[in-house]
Structure 1
Amino acid sequence: MGFLQLLKSQFLCHLIICYVFLVSGLIINLLQLCTLPVWLVSKQLARRINIRLAYCISSQMVATLEWWSGTECTLYTDPKSYPLYGKENAIVVLNHSFEIDFLCGWTFCERFGVLGSSKVLAKKQLAYVPIIGWMWYFLEIVFCKRKWEEDRRTVNESLQKLRDYPENFWFLLYCEGTRFTPKKHQVSMQVAESKGLPKLKYHLLPRTKGFWVTVQSLRGTAAAVYDSTLNFRNNEMPTLLGLLNGKKYHADLYVRRIPLELIPEDEKECAEWLHKLYQEKDSFQEHYAKTGRFPGPIMSPPRRPWSLINWLFWSCLLLYPLGLLLTQLISSGSVFTIVASVAVCSAGLCHPFTGKVKPP
């Protein structure tokens, strides 16, 4: 293990990353709250400000994946579609199989400059969670209660408000509704059998109603659906803890651009179309399992430096006064302060779960 990798695995480094994220997130939430009067004067200006403030939060997580862990992201897509990414509104349909697949979706957004304005469909309870939830509230994220009759109206009304959104956005959608697990897959396939639907091997049965409402609400606003299928090389199952420890993964993402006008407007036909789409996604995953790659040419969208610059800015801003405070406390000569400081540093050299000191 190299020195840099050893450094990344230290709990003290993880503590610093979390400290910067939490404190900067709360500061940004406060700044977002201060934009409320701006909404009364200029809604579009308030939206643009909140896009950039939201970027300051979400890009820190992307920086952890791209710059801290060094995870590589390879994009398989049609070269004719590639120039359109980031230059149009789109619905991104993602598979939900990994702990960090949402981060890979955000990285996809970041590479094409739409991370700050990206949207998701989230549970209503998340709107009350500081940092991410509050950030989403000011981004006009669509929140639902998992009660279809209420959600149908809520989702439609929320998406209709995005028709005059000032910047391009991607609406990230997990049609499976929940993360893939063997148990959930078994239950899902029992439902598929009872409904006479083809069984899937790598996905859960998609929930068609939410997709149909989303497509109908964004007709004339979004130009296409980006069918996105994610997998990781060497059968890896990446975790957030692995990213914090600096473990490098290699993600492969297969994206197909499907013009929105090709998707049926009728609800039943749209449901059939989505089921067929997931059968195709299943075949792509089968191809990946056999060959280690997705079909089609490889494109390489470059990493943008802004997520790293943003993280460095907040780190310097928040760690400098903290360092001064610790220096003053230690120089005060207080035995308790010195012992506490040594204890914190020692904890940083210990494994966060076992408490065993890692070898130098």
Structure 2
Amino acid sequence: MEFNSKMGILQLLKSQFVLHLLMVYVFMASGIIVNLLQICTLPLWLVNKKLARKVNVRLGYCIMSQIVAVLEWWSATECTLYTDPESYPLYGNENAIVVLNHNFEIDFLCGWTFCDRFGVLGSSKVLAKKELAYVPVIGWMWYFLEIVFCKRKWEEDRQTVAESLQNLHDYPENFWFLLFCEGTRFTLKKHKLSMQVAESKGLPKLKYHLLPRTKGFWVTVQNLRGNAAAVYDSTLNFRNNEAPSLLGLLNGKKYHADLYVRRIPLDTIPEGEAECASWLHKLYQEKDSFQEHYAQTGKFPGPIKSPPRRPWSLIIWIFWFCLLLFPLFRVFAQLAHSGSVLTILTTVALCIAVSLVARWMIGQTEINRGSSYGNAKVSINNN
């Protein structure tokens, strides 16, 4: 009874808005510091590109690890990995393309957690929409991590993606390239229109996924051949039919994620574009069957081989809090002592501004803020 009471008090504290503001302040302030340090590495790129990349991997980790810490340590969300024990020792020790399903608001964060547990979070790569390049801290950090920003106009993006992936052939650290082949998050409306496309093209219909974008996948595979060793087919779900969100994590709500990963050697994937497209469609039919198995049994097939949480995300998070909260509290103490109405109102306005910025950044991850893919007014092309 006493334990439940303490847990209730702790949960109440985690849901307090003032704590969320402090967390956002630490994230934004530390992120700006890291961005400035990354700018200072620009001259190093001209002298020693390898060293500049290694430095930016670790600076990037100082930002991304904080979000992972929110999931793993603040909300205490559990992550269970289903995978082949023979493949498990290779994770984190080779370059790979990670194919993720795109059904949840925090699926990207679960991907980051997977990266962190195998030591490749700082060097992980994604194919991101160009709008994210304007998001403070994260978008600016990604520039130095050589993330590919796309306009989602294939003719313009194709060459950009190919060149960026070719540049990774001399990357000095093991990296994972996280890829959402569906191109946008799953919604019932988008799924309905996507299945209309499947019917028109004579493709098998999917129950839990949208049709994958085959051209982007083919270009990725072709340009990472000889560099990446495998594709990690990753299928994510949450227990009890939960729909987790970043706001839920900030409020300290605990979720339980299940991730099923299959390692597929890259040299087994066909090289031809048409053959590669057929292979990817078959892969998503298999992913659909895994989700059906989960819906019926509450678990994925195969053994569990889950890596433990690493302490580094928590250590870095605590470091930033200790470094940045002391000067903040000192400023607030001086403001309270001054008694100036104008100063106090200015401080309140800044707090509101921080809150709005935080809400806008969180909004970029929400399902209803996804791409216009799947809307009735937009023509659909699943290639």
TM-score by length of 2: 0.87
| Distance of 2:218 and 2:34 partners within structure 1 | 34
| Distance of 2:205 and 2:226 partners within structure 1 | 33
| Distance of 2:348 and 2:126 partners within structure 1 | 43
Partner of 1:350: none
- Deviation sequence 1:116-159 (CA, Å, 0-9, x none): 00000012232233211111110001121212122111111100
Aligned: 1:28 with 2:34: yes
Instruction: Single out whichever of 316-325 and 276-285 deviates more from structure 2.
Output: 316-325
Partner of 1:357: none
**TM-aligned CA deviation for residue 291 of structure 1:** 0.2
- Give the one of 190, 194, 217 matched to 1:188: 194
Aligned: 1:288 with 2:294: yes
CA contact (8 A) 1:111 1:303 kept: yes
Instruction: Name the aligned partner's letter for residue 23 of structure 1.
Output: A
- Deviation sequence 1:74-119 (CA, Å, 0-9, x none): 0000000000000000000000000000000000000000000000
- Deviation sequence 1:148-200 (CA, Å, 0-9, x none): 12211111110000000000000000000000000000000000000000000
Partner of 2:251: 245
Partner of 1:41: 47
Instruction: Name the aligned partner's letter for residue 93 of structure 1.
Output: V
Partner of 2:217: 211
- Give the one of 257, 260, 266 matched to 2:272: 266
**TM-aligned CA deviation for residue 343 of structure 1:** 11
Partner of 1:358: none
**TM-aligned CA deviation for residue 212 of structure 1:** 0.2
Partner of 2:14: 8
Q: Which sections of structure 1, spanning at least 5 residues, go unmatched? A: 346-352, 354-360
SS where residue 79 of structure 2 aligns?
Answer: strand
Partner of 2:322: 316
Partner of 2:96: 90
Partner of 2:334: 328
CA contact (8 A) 1:71 1:248 kept: yes
Partner of 2:116: 110
SS where residue 76 of structure 1 aligns?
Answer: strand
Instruction: Name the aligned partner's letter for residue 56 of structure 1.
Output: C
| Distance of 2:67 and 2:222 partners within structure 1 | 32
| Distance of 2:119 and 2:11 partners within structure 1 | 29
State the number of aligned residues.
Answer: 347
| Distance of 2:338 and 2:201 partners within structure 1 | 73
**TM-aligned CA deviation for residue 336 of structure 1:** 7.0
Partner of 2:177: 171
| Distance of 1:173 and 1:192 partners within structure 2 | 21
- Give the one of 222, 230, 246 matched to 1:224: 230
- Give the one of 117, 132, 155 matched to 1:149: 155
Instruction: Name the aligned partner's letter for residue 209 of structure 1.
Output: K
CA contact (8 A) 1:226 1:257 kept: yes
| Distance of 2:296 and 2:267 partners within structure 1 | 33
Partner of 2:66: 60
CA contact (8 A) 1:330 1:337 kept: no
| Distance of 2:45 and 2:37 partners within structure 1 | 13
- Closer/same/farther in 2, CA of residues 344 and 143 from structure 1, 3 Å limit: closer
| Distance of 1:269 and 1:343 partners within structure 2 | 57
| Distance of 2:106 and 2:319 partners within structure 1 | 25
Instruction: Single out whichever of 145-154 and 247-256 deviates more from structure 2.
Output: 145-154
Instruction: Name the aligned partner's letter for residue 87 of structure 1.
Output: N
Q: Which sections of structure 2, spanning at least 5 residues, go unmatched? A: 1-6, 352-358, 360-383
SS where residue 16 of structure 1 aligns?
Answer: helix
- Give the one of 136, 144, 147 matched to 1:138: 144
- Deviation sequence 1:223-259 (CA, Å, 0-9, x none): 0000000000000000111000000000000000000
| Distance of 1:198 and 1:343 partners within structure 2 | 54
SS where residue 329 of structure 2 aligns?
Answer: helix
| Distance of 1:96 and 1:214 partners within structure 2 | 18
Percent identity, aligned pairs only, is: 81
- Closer/same/farther in 2, CA of residues 342 and 159 from structure 1, 3 Å limit: closer
Instruction: Single out whichever of 83-92 and 320-329 deviates more from structure 2.
Output: 320-329
SS where residue 254 of structure 1 aligns?
Answer: strand
TM-score by length of 1: 0.93
